[in-house]
Amino acid sequence: MAIRGTEIKIQGLTHRYTPRSPVTFNRVDLVSPPGEALAIIGRSGCGKSTLLHILAGILKPTEGKVLLDGTVVGAPSPRWVMMFQAPHLFPWMTVSQNVGVGLSFGRWSKQETEERVKEAIKLVELENWAENNVQDLSGGQQQRVALARSLVMEPELLLLDEPFSALDAFTRASLQKDVRSIAKRKGFNIVFVTHDIDEAVIMGDRAVIMAGSPGNIVHELDIDLPDPRERTDPVVQSLRSRLMSMFQEAAHYKKPESATLT
Amino acid sequence: MNGNIASVGDSVISAGVSGNCFSRAMKATADKSLHFFVGLAFLLGLWWLAIYVVTLNPDNSAFSDFAPLAAFQALPDLWEDGTIPHALETTGGRLGAGMFLAIVIGVPIGILMGQIRWFQRLTNVPFQFLRMISPLSWEPIAVVVFSGWDEAIVFLIAIAAIWPIAFATAAGLAKVDPAWFKVARNLGAKPWQMVTRIIVPAIMFDILTGIRLSLGVAWIVVIPAEFLGVTSGFGYAIQDAREGLEYSNLMGMILMIGVVGFVLDSICVMLIRRFSWHRG
């Protein structure tokens, strides 16, 4: 399964849900190099999930654009796949069928589909559950299936919208490491939204903090740490403290007078 | 030594657990069978008693042919002279054609009602109005519109069966997790793939429940619809037996109508169990 990353360019991105509703975020600019794991953190309502949905092509921006290696994102595509907070698996399917469902929407041969599904299931270590109905699985295992369903598409960009927030602490910690490790091995980009500062430090190469209403990026921090990352590591804890200070500072962020949609 | 004892003990425990499960399953099956046969015996007893009471009056002695024993005795002859096989074939053909039309039209209508809000609002009153019209009241119109009686009966079955399917499909779709559509779209599903791979499997339970209800309605409609015009089918056979004063044959055919209806309903229940993904 060969996957490569992509250069993400967000240019002057502005969004409002309807012409009368308030601006969600205003003129956001961001560049992420190929293979980067980017964390977007911020308080509820600052527009980070909306930004992720625009990156996935599920929502359209009011102004501005998103470019992936120069291609404008305007609709969902197997090149940029989103994984949601809940696994949202199809309960009438087995693990294998769920993982292969995206391939079945495209023009893949049966043999190629089987090979890729098998490899994706192996990546998330669910080989023994491949032919089980997904309702037989625990919450953590179901989220692994959702991850395999995204990975099997061999995306250049994997978008994660608080994907582990509903899981217990042990499963969450294990999946955070797994996703980062798979992304680094395969070389694809990840952009993930989280409320969890620890998650941003454990999974990200860089964290950006969104704040304000309308939202914008107010801080960013490089997380230049070797893998594997442990929560108890003093360097991890130090970065966590810095990020927390930035987060608290961002909570008092006031939008500039000019930051309104014209 | 201890290990051996433990292993013997484990196997005893294991055999005990599986033995318990087995005996529980056997008991449940036995209970179900008992209830089935007791219910059936009660119905037969009631039938026999009713005829017995009626025939206590010598003026009503002709009613003895309506008794269960006479009806059961008539069945082999009705089978051998081809009455039952022919009725099964013709009524079954009409029912199959009518149900096919109802499914082919009802499921897409239900999907549209469940997916498109303006379509649901637009069609709700007209469909509820049409649903409440007794299917057999369409018969005079159907006879004028269609060239043959067969086509008219198929139309009556379809018009009766379409509504439970359409409304059950729409109700099923209303319960579907909208996130499934978002996920499927995110993975590149095209509109027709959304229907065939996501919507239909997700609401298969509701579609089949609608088909089960429709089949019950259609089976009730097809028999009286065959009273007029046609010279085949269960409805015609009953009418023919009545006119020939062959009451045991008449009751034999009624018995067969009940059996066929029960079998069709059981097939629907089996399909619902087979395709239902709901747990708990």
Same domain as A215, residue A94: no
How far apart are the CA of B161 and the nearest CA of chain A, in angstroms? Answer: 27
pLDDT of amino acid A78: 83
CATH number, domain of A56, equals 3.40.50.300
N- to C-terminal Cα separation, chain B: 45
Q: Which of A101, A132, A153 best tests the B interface by mutation, with the highest count of B CBs <10 A?
A: A101
Query: How many other β-carbons are positioned within 10 Å of the β-carbon of residue A120?
Result: 25
Two structure tokens written together for B67: 């008794």
**Percent of chain B residues past pLDDT 90, beyond the cut:** 58
Pair A60, A102 in one domain: no
- A135/A166 same-domain check: no
Is the pLDDT reported for residue A154 higher than 60?
A: yes
B11 token code pair: 């196997």
Q: Identify the domain boundary among A136, A154, A172.
A: A154
Q: What is the pLDDT of residues A14-70, one digit of tens each?
A: 998 888 888 888 888 999 999 999 999 988 878 888 999 999 998 999 999 999 988
Looking at the fold, whether A66 and A93 belong to one and the same domain comes out as: no
Distance CA A28, CA A9 (A): 10
Q: Long-range CB contacts (< 8 A, 24+ apart) of A48-51?
A: A48/A193, A48/A210, A48/A215, A49/A161, A49/A162, A49/A193, A50/A15, A50/A24, A50/A25, A51/A10, A51/A13, A51/A15, A51/A25, A51/A193, A51/A210, A51/A215
Using the Cβ of B188 and the Cβ atoms of chain A, whether some distance falls under 8 Å is answered with yes
Same domain for A34 and A94: no
Q: What is the mean pLDDT of residues B9-17?
A: 46
DSSP-derived pairing of the beta strands A37-42 and A157-161: unpaired
Please give the pLDDT value at position A157: 92
Å between A80 CA and nearest CA of chain B: 8
**Is pLDDT at A111 greater than 50 in this prediction?**
yes
Contact call for A135 and B177, based on CB within 8 A? no
For residue B145, pLDDT over 60 is answered with: yes
Under a CB-based contact definition with an 8 Å cutoff, are residues A103 and A118 in contact? no
> What are the sequence ranges of the domains in chain B?
2-56, 64-275
Examine the pLDDT at B7 and tell me if it is beyond 70.
Answer: no
Over residues B14-39, the pLDDT tens digits come to 444 556 777 777 787 888 788 888 99
A-chain CB neighbours of B188 within 8 Å are: 76-78, 102, 105-106, 153
Residues A66 and A96 in one domain: no
Supply the range of the domain harboring residue A175: 1-79+156-262
In a domain, A109, yes or no: yes
Report the pLDDT averaged over residues B227-243. Answer: 88
Fold of B64-275: MetI-like fold (1.10.3720)
A56 at the B interface (CB within 8 A)? yes
- Same-domain check for residues A130 and A20: no
Q: Crossing angle for the helix pair A95-105 and A139-151, nearest 10 degrees?
A: 30
- In sequence order, the 6+-apart residues with CB closer than 8 A to the CB of B170 are B110, B111, B113, B114, B120
Is the same domain home to A135 and A149?
yes
Strands A8-16 and A23-32, how do they pair?
antiparallel
pLDDT in tens, B103-117: 999 999 999 999 899
Interface of B with A in 218-277 (CB under 8 A): 277
Say yes or no: A67 and A8 in one domain.
Answer: yes
Same domain assignment for residues A124 and A46? no
Place A2 in a pLDDT band, splitting at 50, 70 and 90.
Answer: low
Query: For residue A1, is it within any domain?
Result: yes
Average pLDDT, chain A: 87
Band of residue A247 on the pLDDT scale cut at 50, 70, 90? confident
Residue of B78, B14, B3, B93 lying closest to B251 (CA atoms): B78
Query: What is the rounded CA–CA span in Å between residue A116 and residue A119?
Result: 5
Cβ of A58 within 8 Å of Cβ of B185? The answer is: yes
Instruction: Please say which residue of A154, A178, A194 terminates a domain.
Output: A154
Q: Do A88 and B198 touch (CB under 8 A)?
A: no
β-bridge partners, A189: A157
pTM to 2 decimal places: 0.77
On average, the pLDDT of chain B sits at: 87
Q: Count interface pairs A-B at CB distance under 8 A.
A: 55
Contact A91 B277 (CB under 8 A): yes
Pick the last residue of a domain from A154, A189, A211.
Answer: A154
Query: Which sign does the torsion angle of CA B101, B103, B108, B112 carry?
Result: positive
Instruction: Name the nearest CA neighbour of B182 among A52, A19, A171.
Output: A52
CA atoms lying within 13 Å on the CB side of residue B243: 7
In angstroms, what CA-CA distances link A14 with A2, A25, A39, A258, B241? 34, 5, 19, 14, 79
- The 10 Å CB-count burial string (b at 16+, else e) for A194-221 is bebbbbbbbbbbbbbbbbbbbbbbbbeb
What token pair was written down for B203?
């609401």
**C-alpha B35: how far from chain center:** 21
Which is nearest to A225 in space by CA: A203, A209, A247?
A203
Q: In which band, very low, low, confident or very high, does the pLDDT at A1 lie, cut at 50, 70 and 90?
A: low
State the Cα–Cα distance between residues B228 and A25, nearest whole angstrom.
71
For residues A140 and A240, membership in a common domain is answered with: no
Residue B89, number of CB atoms within 10 A of its CB: 13
Of B73, B72, B67, B69, nearest to B52 by C-alpha is B67
CA dist., res. A58 & res. B185, Å (int): 8
pLDDT for res A21:
84
- Residue bearing the bigger pLDDT, B53 or A165: B53
Mean pLDDT of B166-178: 93
- Whether complex ipTM tops 0.90: no
Residues of B in contact with A105 (CB under 8 A): 184, 187-190, 193, 197
pLDDT in tens, B193-229: 999 999 999 999 999 999 999 999 999 999 999 987 8
pLDDT tier, A229 (very low <50, low <70, confident <90, very high otherwise)? confident
Spatial separation of the C-alpha atoms in residues B63 and B51, rounded to whole Å: 7
Predicted pLDDT at A259:
44
User: Which stretch, A16-25, A140-149, A246-255, has highest mean pLDDT?
Assistant: A140-149
Give strand ranges (E) for chain A. Answer: 8-16, 23-32, 37-42, 63-68, 71-72, 80-83, 157-161, 189-194, 206-211, 216-222
Q: What's the structural domain count of chain A?
A: 2
Average of per-residue pLDDT across B137-150: 89
Instruction: Count Cα neighbours of A252 within 13 Å in the Cβ-side half-sphere.
Output: 4
Average pLDDT on A157-173 reads 84
User: Closest approach of chain B CAs to the CA of A217, in angstroms?
Assistant: 26
Let me know: does B246 contact B174? Beta carbons within 8 Å: no
Q: What does the alpha-carbon distance between residue B77 and residue B238 come to, in Å, rounded to a whole number?
A: 15
Residue A256: predicted pLDDT? 53
Q: In terms of domains, do A130 and A255 share one?
A: no
